[in-house]
Amino acid sequence: MPRVGFILKPDKSDAGVLLEELVPWLRAQDHVPVVTAEDQIVPDGCEVVPESELGAAVDLAVVLGGDGTMLRAARLVSDHARPVLGINLGRLGFLVGFAPEHAKQALADALAGRLAHTKRMRLEVTLRRNGAPPVVRNALNDAVVHQGAMARLVEIDAFVDGEFVASYRADGLIIATPTGSTAYNMAAGGPIVSPNHAAMTLTPICAHALTNRPLVLSANSRIRLQLGTDLRGVLLTVDAQWGHSFLEGDVVEICAASAPLVMFAASKSFFDVMRDKLHWGARSDKGAHKGGS
């Protein structure tokens, strides 16, 4: 019997209502619904596991929430190559492509193998500190080195594949995947990258030198960030869900993670989503052929 895991957004009011609707529907088809103990909502007929065990316990995962909940799902299930279906109960919903009223049909199609899926690159982020084991985290969107509470520039030396790139004096640096290029990277003036491209972006946040521009790098690149000596308040954050402070001598290394996130794809194309979510101007000549005149 297929096992279907659920990951809920922090404000669980509407997510809980939809979960209560989906669980008996799944049970009637001999599927096993699984929820995490951390989400604290357990409808009748559900199995409960710690979120750290969810990836190994299910055949596919369903996100009931927004993009932030999808980031959490990526952290929980990607290493086990479990596909994720996103039901949008959030705001923008770049990553959760299905409306709640279509949840049953989307889930039925996913379970029957009728839904296409896509693989989204993730980052492997390693914090190295003298005399300590390395700390490793994976990111679907981005890794950010930034100043926290104080309005003070951060000094960062960036290297790509062992070659020195630049010394940045800025509010921080964003290393983003194509998926994350429409998040903090975009807000900081970085480029939008189609998710079917294998690339990383390196974008300074409010760089002191106006010539420090965003870079697009190969997904095979290995990025190394060395920080200056004044590290008061400087943080490393990964997908805005995990953070770590710095000590002098710390180094951050970033490369492509070995396991991507497998997502079920909605019918909209990347550019359909961009027009819809970012309110880009649509063409007025509705009958025009695709590809222009």
CA distance 254 to 257: 9
pLDDT at 46 over 60: yes
Domains parsed from the chain with CATH numbers: 3-120+260-278 (3.40.50.10330), 123-256 (2.60.200.30)
Averaged pLDDT of the chain: 91
- What number is the average pLDDT over the span 175-195? 96
Q: CB–CB of 198/121 below 8 Å?
A: yes
Q: CB–CB of 63/73 below 8 Å?
A: yes
Where residue 290 falls among pLDDT bands split at 50, 70, 90? low
Where residue 282 falls among pLDDT bands split at 50, 70, 90? low
- What number is the average pLDDT over the span 160-168? 97
- What number is the average pLDDT over the span 257-281? 87
pLDDT at 53: 96
pTM above 0.75, yes or no: yes
Give the rounded percent of residues in the chain with a pLDDT score beyond 90.
76
Give the active site residues.
67
Q: Which tens digits make up the pLDDT trace of 122-159? A: 999 999 998 899 999 999 999 999 987 777 889 999 99
pLDDT at 292: 54
pLDDT at 293 over 50: no
Where residue 102 falls among pLDDT bands split at 50, 70, 90? very high
Q: How many CA atoms lie within 13 A of 148 on its CB side?
A: 13
83-111 burial by CB neighbour count: b if 16+ within 10 A, else e? bbbbbbbbeebbbbbbebeebeebbebbb
